[in-house]
């Protein structure tokens, strides 16, 4: 099929006076080269990840988190960092449920986990972190033809603030 298309194009070139015979041959050779190459399948070696880090500050009594008692108005420093240096920093203020969050997009490669680090500003000793790895991303990744795989994940950290008796 392709061969007959090239013949048709070549046979119509004689109608153009400015194109000499060597130009016609080069034109046909370029067309053959362009259309005879197989389409190379794109092999993406990364996963495009949308990651949300969610920090929840709650009351704590007798070393037990009271998850239904969020603390509103608490500033929390949050960082999403990918091994290799990419990072997003933010300080959020918790809402009525005691939650605040940060979101970022990264291209995640093997051996480059994403880490969510958070700490309440008024309680710096309560710093915590959690990692999101390639294996986790690969297990939930969605693929579309000709595009990189994508994944979305929310990482949760809970901070217990002791309440006075």
Condensed to tens digits (0 to 9), the pLDDT of residues 84-122 reads: 889 999 999 999 999 999 999 999 999 899 999 999 999
Say what the pLDDT of residue 12 is. Answer: 59
Same domain assignment for residues 56 and 13: no
Same domain assignment for residues 90 and 143: yes
Question: How many domains, the chain?
Answer: 2
- SS3 assignment, position 39: coil
Banded pLDDT at 32 (limits 50, 70, 90): low
User: Looking at the domain assignment, is residue 157 inside a domain?
Assistant: yes
pTM, two decimals, is 0.71
- Domain extent for 8: 2-36
Same domain assignment for residues 16 and 66: no
Secondary-structure breakdown of the chain: helix, strand, coil percentages, each rounded to the nearest 5? 25, 45, 30
Q: How far apart are the first and last CA of the chain?
A: 85
Round to whole Å and give the CA distance between 58 and 40: 53
Same domain assignment for residues 151 and 105: yes
What confidence tens digit (pLDDT) does each residue in 54-79 have? Answer: 999 999 988 888 888 899 999 999 99
Rg over alpha carbons for the chain, rounded to the nearest Å, is: 29
Say what the pLDDT of residue 135 is. Answer: 94
Same domain assignment for residues 142 and 65: yes
High-pLDDT (> 90) share of the chain, % = 57
User: Looking at the domain assignment, is residue 122 inside a domain?
Assistant: yes
Banded pLDDT at 26 (limits 50, 70, 90): low
What confidence tens digit (pLDDT) does each residue in 144-159 have? Answer: 777 889 999 999 999 9
User: Looking at the domain assignment, is residue 58 inside a domain?
Assistant: yes
User: Looking at the domain assignment, is residue 41 inside a domain?
Assistant: no
Tell me the DSSP string of 52-90.
EEEEEEEEEETTEEEEEEE-TT-EEEEEEEETTS-EEEE
Q: Average pLDDT over the chain, rounded to whole?
A: 83
CATH number, domain at 60?
A: 2.60.40.10
Residue entry with tokens 């986790």: 136
- SS3 assignment, position 151: strand
Provide the greatest CA pair distance for the chain: 98
pLDDT (average), residues 25-38: 60
Helix axes of 2-12 and 21-36: crossing angle, nearest 10 degrees:
160
């Amino acid at each position: 099929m392709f061969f007959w298309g090239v013949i048709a194009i070549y046979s119509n070139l004689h109608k153009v006076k400015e194109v000499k015979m060597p130009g016609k041959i080069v034109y046909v050779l370029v067309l053959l080269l362009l259309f005879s190459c197989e389409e190379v399948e794109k092999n993406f070696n990364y996963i495009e990840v949308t990651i949300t880090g969610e920090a929840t500050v709650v009351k704590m009594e007798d070393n037990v988190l009271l998850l239904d008692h969020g603390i509103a108005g608490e500033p929390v420093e949050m960082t999403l960092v990918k091994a290799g240096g990419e990072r997003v920093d933010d300080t959020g203020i918790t809402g009525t449920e005691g939650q605040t969050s940060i979101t970022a997009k990264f291209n995640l490669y093997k051996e480059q986990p994403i880490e969510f680090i958070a700490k309440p500003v008024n309680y710096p000793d309560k710093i915590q972190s959690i990692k999101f790895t390639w294996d986790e991303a690969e297990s939930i990744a969605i693929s579309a033809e000709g595009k990189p795989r994508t994944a979305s994940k929310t990482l949760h950290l809970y901070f217990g603030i002791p309440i006075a008796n």
